[in-house]
Amino acid sequence: MAKHVSETPATQWLKQKKIVYSEHPYEYVEHGGTAESSKQLGVPEHEVVKTLIMQDDQGKGLVVLIHGDCKTSTKNLARQIGRKSVEPCTPEAAQKNSGYLVGGTSPFGLRKPMPVYIESSILELPKIWINGGKRGFLVGIDPKVLTTELGAQPVQCALPV
């Protein structure tokens, strides 16, 4: 029997925009990351997208969407978006900027508007699984929604883990 997931700011945002998505709850495992969610849901980790909250050299928040089986080249990202540097922010700053707990961060329904950057190869996938706004909950969605509805800007910053 499928578990019901209560609404999150992310699912409210998706419904408000009339975006089609599927709900995929799983058993959250501390530090399990995308390897754990992809294993439990039976989907390739490459198609599970991480939502990372980072900051630039001026301390301004930004969102980076990257394949679950990759890490972000902050040097490449900074160069492509015209910043001196980009670095992950503290969990506290990420939570304050996004409104989500680390491990449950979604690019949809953010507390503060922030620029969103997406690894361009994600847009070539037919479907992705991305956090739905709480730990242990992914939504299946067409990746093009990220550029059409969120204004995510394609970049090339993925490195193999």
Q: Is residue 45 a part of any domain in this protein?
A: yes
| Closest by CA position to 153, among listed 111, 126, 122, 108 | 122
Q: How confident is the model at residue 1 (pLDDT cuts 50, 70, 90)?
A: very low
Q: What is the pLDDT of residue 161?
A: 87
What average pLDDT does range 28-54 have in this prediction? Answer: 96
Q: How confident is the model at residue 3 (pLDDT cuts 50, 70, 90)?
A: low
Strands 22-25 and 137-141 come out as antiparallel
Q: Is residue 5 a part of any domain in this protein?
A: no
Q: What is the pLDDT of residue 4?
A: 62
Average pLDDT of the residues of the chain = 95
The domain of 156 spans: 23-160
| pLDDT score of 26 more than 70 | yes
Q: Is residue 47 a part of any domain in this protein?
A: yes
Beta bridge partners of 87: 55
As for how many domains the chain has, the answer is: 1
The domain that contains 153 carries what CATH number? 3.90.960.10
Residue 106 sits at φ, ψ, to 5 deg, of -115, 150
For residue range 61-106, list pLDDT tens digits in order. 999 999 999 999 999 999 999 999 999 999 999 999 999 999 999 9
- CA–CA separation, 153 and 155 (whole Å): 6
Q: Is residue 62 a part of any domain in this protein?
A: yes
- CA–CA separation, 140 and 14 (whole Å): 12
Q: Is residue 61 a part of any domain in this protein?
A: yes
For residue range 122-151, list pLDDT tens digits in order. 999 999 999 999 999 999 999 999 999 999
Q: What is the pLDDT of residue 152?
A: 98
Residue 143 sits at φ, ψ, to 5 deg, of -65, -20
